[in-house]
Amino acid sequence: MGRFLLVVVLAGVAVGARAEDDALDRLRAENARLEARLRELEAENAALRGRVGSVDAKAERSVTSTVDEDRERTSLDMEPSRLDLTGGNRSRHWISLHAERGTGATAGGEAEIGIEAAASNGIYRRAEQLELSLDGTSLSLPVTSRTAALILAGPQQQRVGERETVRIAVSTDTIARIGAAREVSGRLGPTTFVLNPEQIASFAAVARRLASPEPDRRSGAAD
């Protein structure tokens, strides 16, 4: 009887040891899986940081500064870039931004967004507002001007279309809000569009330059 009990006890100990070994193997496998996933996430994070840095660098290069010493004014211009259209008029569209800083800047400190259409044929003639959505928050900006140029073709120079440029007033605060948004979509007349990450970053680049201290250009002042 004693010998039988000893065998049972030893068998139980062996089963328990195998169970512990199996549990330990599972924990090791799970730990290895988690470590592999952590390495993947670190690599993805590094790649994202690289892409963000590349986007910011391109955005900075897209903004030019022109200094007018006589008028004590600096003009900041975001070069035109192609808009990603999502509906409405399907001709090519570009967006740009002009802002000024300094004592000689335009009264009120207003900047202007420019939207140019290659062949919109007058559809913005009655446009009064640019409707934006910044991460789901709606914003309306007033159209201040519209210019149009006829597109002529053929030996008789017949009118085949019309190119339009619409100017929209935008405050420096709104430029910063656009630059800080993750998603920006818009509507001008029947045309809808979204801004890509580089365009959003370009608004942020203009906002940073508008917010930075203006250098003193008085004669003899330090740079």
Mean pLDDT along residues 127-134: 98
Q: Where are the domains of the chain?
A: 1-61, 64-211
Q: With cut-offs at 50, 70 and 90, classify the pLDDT of residue 219.
A: very low
pLDDT tens digits, 22-74: 777 777 777 777 677 766 655 555 554 555 557 888 889 999 989 887 777 88
Q: Give whole-number Cα distances, 151 to 85, 91, 92, 117, 215, in Å.
A: 22, 13, 14, 12, 44
Segment 116-121 mean pLDDT: 92
CB atoms within 10 A of CB 57: 13
Question: pLDDT tier at 209 (50, 70, 90 boundaries)?
Answer: very high
Structure tokens at 96: 């740009």
- In angstroms, the first-to-last Cα distance of the chain is 101
pLDDT for position 13: 56
pLDDT on residue 153: 76
Q: Is 41 helix (H, G, I), strand (E, B) or coil?
A: helix
Mean pLDDT along residues 125-138: 97
Highest mean pLDDT among 18-22, 69-73, 130-134: 130-134
Please give the share of the chain, as a percent, with pLDDT higher than 90. Answer: 50
What pLDDT sits at residue 223?
40
